[in-house]
A and B are shown apart, each in its own frame.
Chain A
């Protein structure tokens, strides 16, 4: 926002202060887009319970129509009387629907859905706080909640009514209705999202024809959240619904569902605000694996791909999820992923952040994981050994050091000869790594020299002499006599080439080289 950036120029703290100032004034927001500013006058209709039963249906519809009037709740003093009339009417409607049978006749459906749509479907207002942090900040509450709450209540009673007939309702509760409902999940008001969650769940249960559509739209919301906006308030609620949906998937899983797992749920782990919905997400993932264990390998590989690099808090969550997965893993699946997985775990145990290291080391308190490790100790111990060994001497945190000693002890007991062997070869192993490192450096150095010579060939292909000078200089810097002579040879040949064919230096053909 330009207004904000202007203020930032002046005062880096303004936002916070602005936020506070706004909160004092209003902590509520509403986005009923109203053009008319005329005062609205509602007069109370007679009570439903007092009306003769022949007139009740008519009166019911009149009340529904009356409740289609919208009020501005940011104006806390305007239309007070009429607001109260509508509130009372809504209350009565909720009550009427839940205590009477036979109320839901066919021609009431359009009136009911119209009243609901008019009230709840609205463009959500911009957040008061452009960088709203759901963990830190208080959410902005919906100002019109006194009415909207009752409308949601009414919708829920409508869906749960024993007389409710999906075959009639599907004409009104259609794809468009669901789409608008899903958009409301972005509401900052947790009370609203909670209602929406229950309502969407009921709709999913009752309207078989909408199920695929709902899943697809949730898919789209998540993809937009992951790859475009990184902002959507209702991810946790949607995941909660999905958790129970996944539970009911038939076996074998459809390709569509597997794709959802791999292309939506796993990438969801990359979100910055993972902590807000991680529990629900992990639940969904584990549900999938319990349904179809063969998905374990791709899931774990996916998690490893998105493993957090800088956010320790998220890393702890990932470790938690891995443990949940390991709790249900089949030994045959474990064998497939043990190597990449334990490479990551070995990095985690040596993490300087003690919470990460601690969380990873806690795996060794899990009986089932311990049995899996023991079964595969020949593979796992060599992966884990060097970082455990190193960190047992170096970690700054005493708790971690103590935990590591225990883990090392456990591992040693599992395979003592291998442990001794690894201890003995630890130093040579380190040295080998260092040598490899040096070799790599040298390789790149040589490649760069080559690049320099090639580039200067291109630049100087009409003056061979300076290029040669340049190359000899760079070769003289090389300390290894053998390598260096090889280089000189190579460059000398290149130089020859240069003189022979000054124009064709940049794009030499390699085909005749062999």
Chain B
């Protein structure tokens, strides 16, 4: 067609290929990333006959370039002429699937999986499946690992003889000499099982699963645990006991902690996959063992699952199982020697109260919460405090408040400022649950003390904490409890504390409203414009700019403007700068009100205008 003729004379393929060959890696990379543009310029036929062979031949490049290429080719179907020609993309992707670098290979496999869906069943058997076979019997381990990821995408759409071949190849790879290949096969075992017919799951997958789960390398065995979840889901309940459970039991007691860790980590999924009956008989004791494991890593992983495991227990005797089997282990974990274990537990233990109900919580869990609230490790205490809402629903927070308070006070004074920061963040939540009375009585002093912390980040967080509290308790509460204290700090000898007053005013003015801002805060700010420290003075200017929108225009004109003008002629350069900025912004506030009115008029006119057209 004539259209393509124009492109052809403008962009000879030699030029494009030159670009792909450029000496500079970055430029080569850019060209590859725009490969679709090049293909578009060439048209589908030349892409097929010239560009793809070139790409296939020159696959020796920086891994980064290859990665981009592997990604591009996954989206190339339309550029080579649609599904009918999609198999043209297989040769370059096949080469890419054999390179050493894992990310490139994985991307090539991903693209192959993608375009496999665009193959017709015939093409799949004629072009795609032979490729999988070639990869599966490649010399170097890279091609065999890549093959592992391709079986499951072609299996459902091929004839039964080809299916048998695919199963055979998968079996071979599961007992490959190289552990890398066995790992790849083990990690795809679950996925492959899902596309197999049930009879083959039993005859093929189960033996492979058993073999991989007792591999000499723990890195292979632990991947079999992951597959266990999918396999158990596929099998009918009556087969689980004989086909899956022996292996799972063995994995839970594996001599390598990595395997046991994997079991602990996947415990909820396993529990769901094997169903309530096996859970009761097998998983409960297994879980107990994991909670008592000799490696802290494993205990922590299991502790993380305590709540989920209990939640998913069959309801009929859930409470009994928890009380007699799980809770004793949990009690021991509360005083574990490893703090990661304790903090993992602390992040979920509160969730048990909803499962066990009010009485059990008070009798059995509360003492544990209290112990953890006194734990030497701040992270444990924080995890408890951050989950208080769960308990609040069941027994109310009052039960805890006596112990809560010392814990909070201690965290509030922790030597690490990040711990203090974390507890500040929970203050609004705590205030909401404990109520205004308790707060005023016990926590208000803390919140005020943070305002004069020696770390700026804490003072800053304390300021925004006040805002949230005011939003919660209302302006009147603010006026009575915190505003006087904040304003009192304006006379502090330390200029940093005086600045904190200004920061608080910035943060609080909106929540407190015009009345309090104008009557109580503004006079203090204005008075501080005479401060001897320049930092305070320019912060006055900044504050005036901030609270400007809250003030009424009268105060703005008569009180704010003169002060800003005075500051604008300050001897300090920064003060001048910020005062001038504030003047222009505040001026804008005034004019904005005006222009707003004007604008709405304009809008109206515009509408009329368009209708006229």
A506 at the interface (CB under 8 A from B): yes
Please name the residue on chain A nearest to B1 by beta carbon. A508
Residues in B neighbouring A513, C-beta threshold 8 A: 1-2, 4-5, 8, 43
Please name the residue on chain A nearest to B342 by beta carbon. A3
B295 at the interface (CB under 8 A from A): yes
User: Do residues A493 and B5 form an inter-chain contact, with CB atoms below 8 A?
Assistant: yes
Which residues in chain A, 457-497, are within 8 Å of chain B measured between CB atoms? 486-487, 489-491, 493-494, 496-497
Please name the residue on chain A nearest to B259 by beta carbon. A123
A310 at the interface (CB under 8 A from B): no
Q: Which of B416-424, B572-580, B586-594 lines the interface with chain A?
A: B416-424
User: Do residues A1 and B41 form an inter-chain contact, with CB atoms below 8 A?
Assistant: no
User: Do residues B6 and A493 form an inter-chain contact, with CB atoms below 8 A?
Assistant: yes
B172 at the interface (CB under 8 A from A): no
Measured CA separation A496–B3 after assembly (Å): 8
Interface string of A368-403 (1 = CB under 8 A from B): 000000000000000000000000000000000000
With A263-B140, A511-B45 known to touch, is A227 a contact of B102 (CB < 8 Å)?
Answer: yes
Q: Which of A152-160, A323-331, A415-423, A439-447 lines the interface with chain B?
A: A439-447
Partner pick for B383 among A6, A446, A450, CB 8 A cutoff: A6
17 inter-chain pairs at a CB distance below 8 angstroms, sorted by A residue, are A1-B297, A3-B300, A11-B422, A13-B418, A31-B257, A33-B294, A123-B257, A227-B102, A228-B102, A263-B100, A444-B34, A454-B40, A486-B6, A490-B10, A497-B1, A509-B4, A514-B8
Measured CA separation A423–B331 after assembly (Å): 81
Residues in B neighbouring A443, C-beta threshold 8 A: 11, 15, 19
B263 CB to nearest chain A CB (Å) = 14
User: Do residues B45 and A497 form an inter-chain contact, with CB atoms below 8 A?
Assistant: no
Please name the residue on chain A nearest to B347 by beta carbon. A6
Residues in A neighbouring B183, C-beta threshold 8 A: 228
B78 at the interface (CB under 8 A from A): yes
Measured CA separation A486–B119 after assembly (Å): 39
Which residues in chain A, 194-236, are within 8 Å of chain B measured between CB atoms? 220, 223-224, 227-228
B230 CB to nearest chain A CB (Å) = 22
A254 at the interface (CB under 8 A from B): no
Interface string of B212-234 (1 = CB under 8 A from A): 00001011000000000000000
A229 CB to nearest chain B CB (Å) = 8
Residues in B neighbouring A506, C-beta threshold 8 A: 78
A49 at the interface (CB under 8 A from B): no
B505 at the interface (CB under 8 A from A): no
Measured CA separation A491–B8 after assembly (Å): 13
Residues in A neighbouring B7, C-beta threshold 8 A: 450, 490, 510
B44 at the interface (CB under 8 A from A): yes
Please name the residue on chain B nearest to A13 by beta carbon. B418
Interface string of A30-56 (1 = CB under 8 A from B): 010110000000000000000000000
User: Do residues B100 and A11 form an inter-chain contact, with CB atoms below 8 A?
Assistant: no
With A31-B295, A224-B180 known to touch, is A125 a contact of B4 (CB < 8 Å)?
Answer: no
User: Do residues A223 and B141 form an inter-chain contact, with CB atoms below 8 A?
Assistant: yes
A19 CB to nearest chain B CB (Å) = 12
- For the complex with contacts A3-B343, A126-B257, 11 further pairs of A-B residues with Cβ separation under 8 Å are A3-B300, A10-B382, A14-B418, A18-B339, A18-B340, A227-B102, A446-B10, A450-B37, A450-B40, A486-B6, A508-B4
Please name the residue on chain A nearest to B289 by beta carbon. A35
Partner pick for B419 among A11, A179, A224, CB 8 A cutoff: A11
Q: Taking beta carbons and an 8 Å cutoff, which residues of B are in contact with A?
A: 1-8, 10-11, 15, 19, 23, 27, 34, 36-38, 40-46, 62, 78, 81-82, 100-102, 140-141, 178-180, 183, 216, 218-219, 255-258, 294-297, 300-301, 304, 339-341, 343-344, 347, 378-379, 382-383, 416, 418-419, 422
Measured CA separation A508–B379 after assembly (Å): 65
User: Do residues A507 and B40 form an inter-chain contact, with CB atoms below 8 A?
Assistant: no
Please name the residue on chain A nearest to B39 by beta carbon. A451
Residues in B neighbouring A451, C-beta threshold 8 A: 36-37, 40-41
User: Do residues B40 and A440 form an inter-chain contact, with CB atoms below 8 A?
Assistant: no
User: Do residues B8 and A510 form an inter-chain contact, with CB atoms below 8 A?
Assistant: yes
A102 at the interface (CB under 8 A from B): no
A4 at the interface (CB under 8 A from B): yes
Residues in A neighbouring B180, C-beta threshold 8 A: 220, 223-224, 227-228
Residues in B neighbouring A34, C-beta threshold 8 A: 294
Residues in A neighbouring B218, C-beta threshold 8 A: 123
User: Do residues B102 and A10 form an inter-chain contact, with CB atoms below 8 A?
Assistant: no
A305 at the interface (CB under 8 A from B): yes
Residues in B neighbouring A454, C-beta threshold 8 A: 40
Measured CA separation A355–B551 after assembly (Å): 60
Measured CA separation A493–B8 after assembly (Å): 13
B285 CB to nearest chain A CB (Å) = 14
Measured CA separation A509–B44 after assembly (Å): 7
User: Do residues A494 and B418 form an inter-chain contact, with CB atoms below 8 A?
Assistant: no
Q: Taking beta carbons and an 8 Å cutoff, which residues of A are in contact with B?
A: 1-4, 6-7, 10-14, 17-18, 21, 31, 33-34, 123, 125-126, 176, 179, 220, 223-224, 227-228, 263, 267, 305, 343, 440, 443-444, 446-448, 450-451, 454, 486-487, 489-491, 493-494, 496-497, 506-514
A464 CB to nearest chain B CB (Å) = 13
Partner pick for A1 among B216, B256, B300, B378, CB 8 A cutoff: B300
B296 CB to nearest chain A CB (Å) = 8
Measured CA separation A510–B382 after assembly (Å): 68
Measured CA separation A443–B34 after assembly (Å): 12
Please name the residue on chain A nearest to B422 by beta carbon. A10
Q: Which of B6, B34, B38 has the most CB of A within 10 A?
A: B6
Residues in A neighbouring B15, C-beta threshold 8 A: 443
User: Do residues A509 and B10 form an inter-chain contact, with CB atoms below 8 A?
Assistant: no
Measured CA separation A33–B62 after assembly (Å): 45
Measured CA separation A2–B299 after assembly (Å): 12
User: Do residues A510 and B102 form an inter-chain contact, with CB atoms below 8 A?
Assistant: no
User: Do residues A4 and B340 form an inter-chain contact, with CB atoms below 8 A?
Assistant: yes
9 smallest CB-CB distances across A and B, nearest first, come from: A490-B6, A3-B340, A510-B43, A11-B418, A513-B5, A510-B4, A494-B3, A123-B256, A497-B3
Measured CA separation A176–B215 after assembly (Å): 12
Measured CA separation A513–B141 after assembly (Å): 45
Please name the residue on chain B nearest to A446 by beta carbon. B10
User: Do residues B44 and A13 form an inter-chain contact, with CB atoms below 8 A?
Assistant: no
Q: Which of B19, B37, B82 has the most CB of A within 10 A?
A: B37
User: Do residues A447 and B179 form an inter-chain contact, with CB atoms below 8 A?
Assistant: no
Residues in A neighbouring B216, C-beta threshold 8 A: 176, 179
User: Do residues A6 and B343 form an inter-chain contact, with CB atoms below 8 A?
Assistant: yes
User: Do residues A497 and B2 form an inter-chain contact, with CB atoms below 8 A?
Assistant: yes
B600 CB to nearest chain A CB (Å) = 35
B414 CB to nearest chain A CB (Å) = 10
Measured CA separation A450–B42 after assembly (Å): 11
With A447-B11, A450-B40, A508-B1 known to touch, is A14 a contact of B379 (CB < 8 Å)?
Answer: yes
Residues in A neighbouring B2, C-beta threshold 8 A: 493, 496-497, 513
User: Do residues A11 and B416 form an inter-chain contact, with CB atoms below 8 A?
Assistant: yes
Residues in A neighbouring B78, C-beta threshold 8 A: 506-507
User: Do residues B100 and A267 form an inter-chain contact, with CB atoms below 8 A?
Assistant: yes
Please name the residue on chain A nearest to B61 by beta carbon. A305
Please name the residue on chain B nearest to A226 by beta carbon. B100
Measured CA separation A223–B184 after assembly (Å): 14
A169 CB to nearest chain B CB (Å) = 21
Measured CA separation A487–B178 after assembly (Å): 57
A170 CB to nearest chain B CB (Å) = 19
Residues in A neighbouring B100, C-beta threshold 8 A: 227, 263, 267
Q: Which of A440, A447, A496 has the most CB of B within 10 A?
A: A447
Please name the residue on chain B nearest to A437 by beta carbon. B27
Residues in A neighbouring B419, C-beta threshold 8 A: 10-11
User: Do residues A6 and B416 form an inter-chain contact, with CB atoms below 8 A?
Assistant: no
A89 CB to nearest chain B CB (Å) = 25
Measured CA separation A508–B79 after assembly (Å): 10
Please name the residue on chain A nearest to B216 by beta carbon. A179
Partner pick for A493 among B3, B219, B383, CB 8 A cutoff: B3
User: Do residues B416 and A17 form an inter-chain contact, with CB atoms below 8 A?
Assistant: yes
Residues in A neighbouring B34, C-beta threshold 8 A: 444, 447
User: Do residues A2 and B1 form an inter-chain contact, with CB atoms below 8 A?
Assistant: no
Measured CA separation A450–B418 after assembly (Å): 55
Partner pick for A509 among B45, B258, B379, B382, CB 8 A cutoff: B45
